[in-house]
C-alpha cells in the first residue's frame, strides 16, 4: 500500500542491493517471482496522504521492468 504520490521525477537513482544482498528477497520472490531483483534509491518530491509535500529519498525494488515502490 502506497501512502504517498510521486509528484516529480525520481532523480539521482542508484542501485543499493542486488539479488541475495536484498534483505527481503525471499518474500519478494515468493510474491512476485524469481527474476533478477535489485533495490534502488533516488530522490523525488512526494505528497503524503494528508496533503503534506516533502522532498524525500525513496526506495523501491525492480526486476525486468516491474517496479515495486
10: three-class secondary structure by DSSP? coil
First to last CA, the chain: 9
pLDDT, tens digit, 9 for 90 and up, residues 20-67: 999 999 999 999 888 889 999 999 999 999 999 999 999 999 987 666
pTM metric for this prediction: 0.81
pLDDT, tens digit, 9 for 90 and up, residues 2-21: 689 999 999 999 999 999 99
Cβ–Cβ < 8 Å for 56, 30: no
Cβ–Cβ < 8 Å for 59, 16: yes
Amino acid at each position: 500500500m502506497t501512502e504517498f504520490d510521486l509528484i516529480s521525477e525520481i532523480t539521482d537513482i542508484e542501485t543499493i542491493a542486488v539479488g541475495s544482498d536484498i534483505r527481503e528477497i525471499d518474500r519478494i520472490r515468493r510474491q512476485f517471482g524469481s527474476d533478477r531483483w535489485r533495490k534502488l534509491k533516488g530522490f523525488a518530491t512526494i505528497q503524503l496522504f494528508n496533503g503534506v509535500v516533502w522532498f524525500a529519498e525513496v526506495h523501491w525494488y525492480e526486476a525486468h521492468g516491474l517496479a515495486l515502490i
